[in-house]
Structure 1
Amino acid sequence: MTFKALVAGTALALMTGLGCSPARAEGQVNAAYAVYLKGFHVLNAQASYQLQPWGYGGSTQIKPAGLISWFVTMDVTSRVEGKFTPDGSVQPVLFDSGGISRGKHRHVRLEFSNDTPKVTDLQPPETDREPIPDSSLPHTVDTLSGMARLLHSLVTTGKCDGSQIVFDGIRLSEMVVYGPTVADIPQGQDEAYSGQALRCDFIGRQLAGFVKDSPNRAKLAAPQPGAVWFKKIDGLGAVPVRIEFNHPKLGRVMVVMQHAVAP
């Protein structure tokens, strides 16, 4: 698996990418996360997010950490904008992600109209992947908008049950989420928070956009479980403090909050 794919998986599992653009805004949260793979600290993620009753927006920056940074050059920034509908669904407007990954400058931009994403830029082209039919794209959302819907549902209804088809520009995936349950936050990676939290469990699986003739297709298409822990923090509200998910090739990935503040 490439680091670009790990970044995408982290964003999908996670809420780390829900943020707003203004330097200061009511309800905004700035957070830092560390990503661990097989116990090793491999990535750092800086995120700023804000959810309002009418909508959401945000940005993240992900870079390698620890020994990995000696061998891997990566600096990926993503941002998202969207609205909430009266029934609590999300209506994305824009998803943009770009930077240095796998030794090249890469960029993907999705613009949404009539609940359908359009890839307005994809550099370099992913010609080694099976094309996704246009008929599969209506009512899909980008990775970060899918997580915005989850957090919005948890805050407004106290539940995180639901499903969503997610499109990141090259892959189509399904996320099914259920819960929450009250559970202790696992410890072991220098977590900033401990004690009880609300845990939402999820299962993700890739549906389309596979690499042509990939020997790992069956693994990538298999359901992969994960969980996210939300803790209510004074002055910030419910914040995702830990995410765990299983990747079919890499194994268990953990995303751990280091700190979170209101600007």
Structure 2
Amino acid sequence: MARHGAEKAKGGWLGKAAALCCAFLAAPAALLAESEEGSALLQSGLFDTDRAAITAVDLSYEVYGGGFHVLSLATQAIVTPRRYEIVSRLETRGIADTLFNGQMDSQAHGLMTPAGPELLTYAQDYAGYFGERSVDIARTADGSYEVTAEPPDGIHADGSLPAHTLRGTIDPLTASVFTAINDTDAPCAQVVPVFDGRRVFRLRFRPDGEEILQPESENAYAGPALRCKVTYEAVAGFSRDWYIDQAKDPLKPFTIWLASFESADKKEGAPDRFNVPVRLLIETRYLNGVAHLSRAIIDGEERIALNASAQP
């Protein structure tokens, strides 16, 4: 019975919060320039340092639920005019670590195209209280995806998806930094189709004004931000129980605040500015979840430092 209750929690606000965090967050923590992963990305041959304008984005987020510190997210991204590479780690903290401890590692790489990011490969591995879960996605020569998932739920339980359902989708990790790496003048007016290896959903952004954010904690961004409302729209791979749960407790649109950070890289082809998610609010029947950008390093320049509030 206790385990069944835990699984219900997983499918309830915890599951929703995790899905939304993946879709919002992933811009990076202080790992990229100094980490082995970051060095490996630069030395892998995927990025031509002599001819390409390389931008390194490194952000950290802290997530709170009901006033308690529950998650930390660290992600590193390297972007050139032609390619991108992203790695992230999401870990439980505080009371969540005691009750539902877990860690999720993700990585994605793809191409930058005039239409936006195009996924080539994506991998996600979770280990913790709910067991072990993994997803691997690879784009094939004909533009479709090869997918393996353990356990085989979602589309793998219901049958394969038609090709047109997956067309134009990106993975959750790429989606989480979509506003930063996608060249658009209207980051709060777009629709992002996402395939997580099990399910397809859309993130529909709409503008909701501008705001001067005040820091809600010691390590949080303060300054001007665009406010977006984002609606999570199920497309395929969702269970009947999920739709029943949504009928009883519909997922409210969540709120994302984006701040514009100027790029320090003046090479040809490098973006002038990045629209970085600095705050996220998720509202549910049970509690509210808030994520804060606590550290930002862009091209080696610290824009928000730990234990300090700063403006870009």
TM superposition score normalised by structure 2: 0.71
Alpha carbons of 1:220 and 1:230: their partners in 2 closer, same or farther (altered >3 Å)? farther
Partner SS state of residue 6, structure 1: helix
Contact 1:34 1:256 (C-alpha < 8 Å) held by counterparts: yes
RMSD across aligned C-alpha pairs, in angstroms?
Answer: 3.1
1:259 corresponds to which of 280, 295, 300? 295
Contact 1:13 1:226 (C-alpha < 8 Å) held by counterparts: no
Match of 1:28 in 2: 56
State whether structure 2 residue 125 is matched by structure 1 residue 98.
yes
State whether structure 2 residue 101 is matched by structure 1 residue 85.
no
Give the whole-Å Cα distance in 2 for the aligned partners of 1:8 and 1:60.
15
Alpha carbons of 1:98 and 1:5: their partners in 2 closer, same or farther (altered >3 Å)? farther
1:47 corresponds to which of 62, 75, 97? 75
Encode CA deviations 1:36-85: one digit per residue, 9 max, x unaligned.
Answer: 12222100111111222212111111111112222322111000101111
2:247 corresponds to which of 202, 218, 226? 218
More helix by share: 2
* Equivalence map 1:149-188=2 (5 Å): 149-153=178-182, 156-160=183-187, 161-179=189-207, 181-188=209-216
Amino acid in the other structure paired with 2:127: I
Cα offset for 1:172?
Answer: 1.5
More strand by share: 1
Match of 1:137 in 2: 166
Contact 1:62 1:75 (C-alpha < 8 Å) held by counterparts: yes
Contact 1:205 1:224 (C-alpha < 8 Å) held by counterparts: no
Partner SS state of residue 67, structure 1: helix
State whether structure 2 residue 102 is matched by structure 1 residue 74.
yes
Number of residues paired by the alignment?
259
Alpha carbons of 1:147 and 1:31: their partners in 2 closer, same or farther (altered >3 Å)? closer
Amino acid in the other structure paired with 1:69: D
Match of 2:151 in 1: 124
Encode CA deviations 1:114-152: one digit per residue, 9 max, x unaligned.
Answer: 443331x21122279655633422222211223444223
Partner SS state of residue 38, structure 2: coil
Match of 2:223 in 1: 195
Alpha carbons of 1:230 and 1:157: their partners in 2 closer, same or farther (altered >3 Å)? same
Amino acid in the other structure paired with 2:99: F
Amino acid in the other structure paired with 2:20: G
Contact 1:244 1:252 (C-alpha < 8 Å) held by counterparts: no
Cα offset for 1:10?
Answer: 0.5
The percent of aligned pairs where both chains have the same amino acid is 18
Give the whole-Å Cα distance in 2 for the aligned partners of 1:69 and 1:186.
28
Amino acid in the other structure paired with 2:69: H
Give the whole-Å Cα distance in 2 for the aligned partners of 1:247 and 1:130.
30
Give the whole-Å Cα distance in 2 for the aligned partners of 1:17 and 1:193.
14
Cα offset for 1:194?
Answer: 0.5
Q: Which has the larger radius of gyration?
A: 2
Unaligned runs of 5+ in 1: none
Encode CA deviations 1:76-97: one digit per residue, 9 max, x unaligned.
Answer: 10001011112x3221001100
Encode CA deviations 1:4-63: one digit per residue, 9 max, x unaligned.
Answer: 653332011234379975327542122221011222210011111122221211111111
Alpha carbons of 1:37 and 1:54: their partners in 2 closer, same or farther (altered >3 Å)? same
Alpha carbons of 1:142 and 1:219: their partners in 2 closer, same or farther (altered >3 Å)? farther
